[in-house]
Structure 1
Amino acid sequence: MLGRALRRQLTQPCAPRAFSSSSIPRADFTHVVIGAGAVGLAIARKLADRDGTSTLLLERHGAVGTETSSRNSEVIHAGIYYGPTSLKTKLCLRGKQMMYDLCEKQNIPYRNSKKWILAQDAQQHEELVKTHDFAKSIGVPMEFLSLSEARAREPDVLAREAVLESPTTGIVDSHAYMSYLESDFQSKGGDLACHTNVQSVEPLSSGKAGWRIKTTSPSSPEITIITSETVINSAGLAAVPLSNSILPPERHLTPYYAKGSYYSYTAPLPRPKTLIYPAPTSGAAGLGTHLTMDMTGALRFGPDVEWVSSPTDLSVNESRLPAALDEIKTYLPGIRREKVQLDYSGIRPKLGKGGAVWRGSGEGFLDFVIRREEGFEGFVNLLGIESPGLTSSLAIGEMVEGLLYR
């Protein structure tokens, strides 16, 4: 529910702001950002840094970052999987360096853990060669390790054919990162409203530019109306339904939900110190059931991929554990199967081209969609923001500001 101070603010006219010639004299806010995950926080923080503006960040849950942003591997990705011209590649490369710099400057826990990608046969080796060549073409350092060096460094890890190392991959405490973004956003004068459900977003009537956002809270049926010069749809799992409620039918998109389960490991050994990934599979919707760790060194495995019709079920599917264990055993043969436990799951929002349905491969799924919507002045859409969204978040904030002001 919106706090009293914020409710009072909503009833007061805002000072004139330099957004455009069609600025709304009495809009409550310059910017309303919907969705306070890592990306929404980064966008709101960037916009709040502009002089003469006001930014409101809306979140339907009781705290920031409780959906996809806190249910992932917490990996700082190198940017090697997404194609040479994709937004994912561009924003991951930029965001990776921005995140490392911010974590270092603000003492946000992170570690440049590095990552190994393993090949167990000749075909997988070919995939690693393709990954290496692509990384080289976009300026991302990658190197092959000899099998003897790999065994000396990580004796518990099995690679029969080849090991490709990514030296710029790392891990971050995503909760500490988002906590910093939230605090910094508010220190810049931004307003955060949790427990706030967006019921509708509509253009203002009478030909005025700007937006009317109707919201409710779980504790009250009362509708609060907010007006804003701009609306940024960063609603994550709810972003496509929100976009479809605003844009005409011919511009609607179909959301797909890829649920990924994670598994914890409670035995003292084996304990690799490097992130371990299987070789990429062409057309796959994920990167395989890989090994990562948190800042305490606790191991976790995942995510796998389970296509679901709704983004609301976050229970871990126990029936998927045997297949995950079989994949883990291919690169960590000493793992004690009985010590691998169900942990948590997350859901990745994906998009399909032309309404295509899932048919068993990752081909046909779209890049990030980040754009000002033509014919809807002041409306910026962010759709299909999955991995590497966390790594890219600061660069996405920079991009959205550029879409609005440059």
Structure 2
Amino acid sequence: MNSRSLSKLTQLPCRRGLAGVGALRSFSVSASRSADFTHAVIGGGVVGLAVARALAERASAASLSSSASASASPVLLLERHSDVGTETSSRNSEVIHAGLYYGAESLKTQVCIRGRQLLYDFCEQYGVGHRRTGKWIVAQTPNQRNALEKIYAFAQSYRGGRVDLQEDEVLPLRWVTADEAKRREPAIRAEAGVLESLATGIVDSHGLMQTLLGLFEDAGGVLASGSPVVGITPLGGVGDAPGSGGWQLHVKPVGAAEETVVTAETIVNAAGLGAAAVHNMITQGDTAGPASPPMQLYYAKGNYFSYSSSQPRVSTLVYPAPDPGVGGLGTHLTLDLAGRIRFGPDFEWVTDPTDLAANAARLPSAIEAIKAYLPGIDAGALQPDYAGIRPKLLPPGGDGKHKKDPDFIVRSEPGYKGWVNLLGIESPGLTSSLAIGEMVEKLVYSR
């Protein structure tokens, strides 16, 4: 399970008769040429890891079934940082979401529900720390109660395209009476009602990512950490779709004097906060591909706050009722696997995706939001802890409020061959990661 940096790829056995990939060189653009790797996945967050693992296991199984495992190219996972999962994937609430908020036609709903089911099974199979904590969504006003009623109605009606499911089988919810709420969580205020999500939980995100990495490498995959991609060229003959001859990736390993060039039959852009830059490397540099304007991402920062007091005690996750005029799901209460309380994220727009310092100036507004549902909180025990950045496909609305979040984009990029593009993968990306990996595998192998 030890990862190998790109500089060490020259030590790997030659693949398909090719020399080591550490030296800069050019490649044929014929569709019949051999590539260094079957697939290249750009981005080593939890989604990139899930995609890379799915592709590596598929490639490994295909090699074994054809008795050609010794000559098969591995899958390459390119990560610009020195380790995997150091951006959005490790700076979140570590919540396994149920899939309540995104709408019946949303890809987010589909992959969140499928991903949640896969994730619980995966954690059980591989011993990844997790727990089904449940979640309370609490209302304080009639308007907030109405928001809970809409969530409940959606959960009762949603079947994900299937008609053979019983009520609550996909999105199990229940109303908590006032007496039960007072008995179970006496510290929580819920003046207008409590809706409980039975499928919500928490997961050790770092343990999940290390397990995915181990499975990826066990299947023959190669991790190139500290290896940012600086250029991408789709290959193909005259008249062919760009990428029909494979893909040439220029990589500048950290500390290296020169670029390294590798080729892959297909590429997956799972770069998260860097996904727009990767997208633009291709679309803005390729004169043969479809004309399109540069893509831009917008960055939503969420600050998290630690809590050092043991009182009040709470044993479930607590979320305020969703407010359409506020970004995110509100500053909520979550637990880690040791039972420690933490709060967040809040929501603020930033222009710098590397602005990861927790913003202490946000503490007063966080305290106000938390006191709405946890009035007995000791404000002196709250401290800014860490922050995460979510990639947004749309900017804030012109009226000062936030536009409704667009859906995930997971697609084979039109006009190209062998390029799967993942854009705007934010929450519930952690929950959805295994389902997205499953989806990308199907897209790649249906080409």
TM-score, structure 2 normalization = 0.86
Contact 1:23-1:229 at 8 Å conserved across structures: no
The equivalent residue for 2:413 is 373
Identity %: 51
Counterpart residue number, 1:392: 432
Counterpart in the other structure of 2:185: 154
1:37 and 1:358 map into 2 onto residues whose CA distance is 32
Name the CA distance, whole Å, in 2 between partners of 1:102 and 1:12.
32
* 1:324 alignment partner, SS class: helix
Q: Aligned-pair distance for 1:362?
A: 3.3
Task: Please identify, of 142-151 and 246-255, the stretch whose mean Cα deviation from structure 2 is larger.
Answer: 246-255
> Which residue of structure 2 lines up, in the alignment, with residue 143 of structure 1?
174
Paired residue type of 1:272: V
Does 1:198 find its partner at 2:229? yes
1:14 offset after TM fit, Å? 5.9
User: How far 1:142 sits from its partner (Å)?
Assistant: 0.9
Aligned to 2:138: 118
Measure, in 1, the Cα distance between the counterparts of 2:112 and 2:413. 23
Which of 77, 82, 85 is the aligned partner of 2:102?
82
Take 2:205 and 2:432, find their aligned partners in 1: how far apart are those partners? 13
**Runs of 5+ consecutive residues of structure 2 not aligned to the other structure:** 19-29, 64-72, 159-169, 239-243, 285-290
Contact 2:411 / 2:420 at 8 angstroms: preserved in 1?
A: yes
Change (3 A) 1:261 1:358: farther
2:288 maps to 1:246: no
Q: 1:151 and 1:357 mapped to 2: Cα distance?
A: 39
Aligned to 2:256: 220
The separation in 1 between residues aligned to 2:437 and 2:325, in whole angstroms, is 29
Instruction: Give the C-alpha shift of residue 304 in structure 1.
Output: 0.6
Task: Measure how far apart 1:360 and its partner are.
Answer: 3.0
Cα pair 1:14 1:28 within 8 Å, conserved: no
- 1:172-321 → structure 2 map (5 Å cutoff): 172-204=203-235, 206-207=237-238, 209-248=245-284, 250-321=292-363
Q: Does 1:100 align with 2:120?
A: yes
- For residue 362 of structure 1, what is the amino acid of its counterpart? H
Q: Give distance in 2, aligned partners of 1:4 and 1:340.
A: 44
| Largest Rg, 1 or 2 | 2
Cα distance, 1:12 vs structure 2 = 4.3
- Return the match for 2:40 from 10, 22, 32: 32
How much is the aligned-residue C-alpha RMSD, in angstroms? 1.8
Residue 377 of structure 2 is matched in structure 1 by 335
Tell me the SS of whatever aligns to 2:372: helix
Between the two proteins, the alignment pairs up a number of residues equal to: 398
Q: State which of 42, 56, 61 in structure 2 corresponds to 1:48.
A: 56
Report the alpha carbon displacement of residue 98 of structure 1 after superposing the two structures with TM.
0.2
Structure 2 vs 1, CA of residues 34 and 338 (structure 1 numbering), >3 Å: closer, same or farther?
A: same
The one-letter code matched in structure 2 to 1:196 is: S
CA deviations over 1:325-363 (Å, ceiling 9, x no partner):
0010111111100100110000000102xx885643333
Query: Which residue number corresponds to residue 6 of structure 1?
Result: 9
Q: 1:24·1:229 contact (CA, 8 Å) conserved in 2?
A: no
Contact 1:143 1:166 in 2 (8 A): yes
Which 5+ residue runs of structure 1 have no aligned equivalent?
Answer: 16-21
Alpha-carbon distance in structure 1 between the residues aligned to 2:200 and 2:313 = 18
Task: Note if contact 1:265-1:299 (Cα within 8 Å) is conserved in structure 2.
Answer: yes
2:402 to 344, 354, 362: 362
Note if contact 1:68-1:347 (Cα within 8 Å) is conserved in structure 2.
yes
CA distance in 2, matches of 1:244, 1:304: 30
Question: Structure 1 pair 148/23, CA: closer, same or farther in 2 (3 Å)?
Answer: farther
Deviates more, 1:2-11 or 1:80-89: 2-11
Q: CA deviation at 1:222?
A: 1.5
> What secondary structure sits across from 1:49 in the alignment?
helix
**Are the counterparts in 1 of residues 246 and 264 from structure 2 also a CA contact under 8 Å?**
yes
Kept after mapping to 1: 8 A contact 2:396/2:402:
no
Q: Deviations over 1:294-334 (max 9, x none)?
A: 11111110001110112011011111110000010111111
Q: 1: distance between equivalents of 2:81 and 2:51?
A: 18
**CA–CA distance in 2 between the matches of 1:87 and 1:14?**
41
Asked whether the 8 Å contact 2:396–2:403 carries over to 1, the reply is no
* Distance across 2 between alignment mates of 1:306 and 1:358: 15
- In the TM superposition, residue 254 of structure 1 has moved relative to its aligned partner by 2.4
Cα 1:10–1:228 shift into 2, 3 Å: farther
SS at match of 1:323: helix
Q: Is the 8 A contact 1:33 1:57 kept in 2?
A: yes
| CA deviation after TM superposition for structure 1 residue 31, in Å | 0.3
- Shift of residue 365 of structure 1? 3.2
Q: Which residue of 1 aligns with 2:368?
A: 326
- Provide the residue aligned with 1:19 in structure 2: none
Cα distance change on mapping 1:134 and 1:155 into 2, 3 Å: same
SS in 2 for 1:250: coil
The amino acid across from 1:36 in the alignment is: G
In structure 1, the partner of 2:21 is none
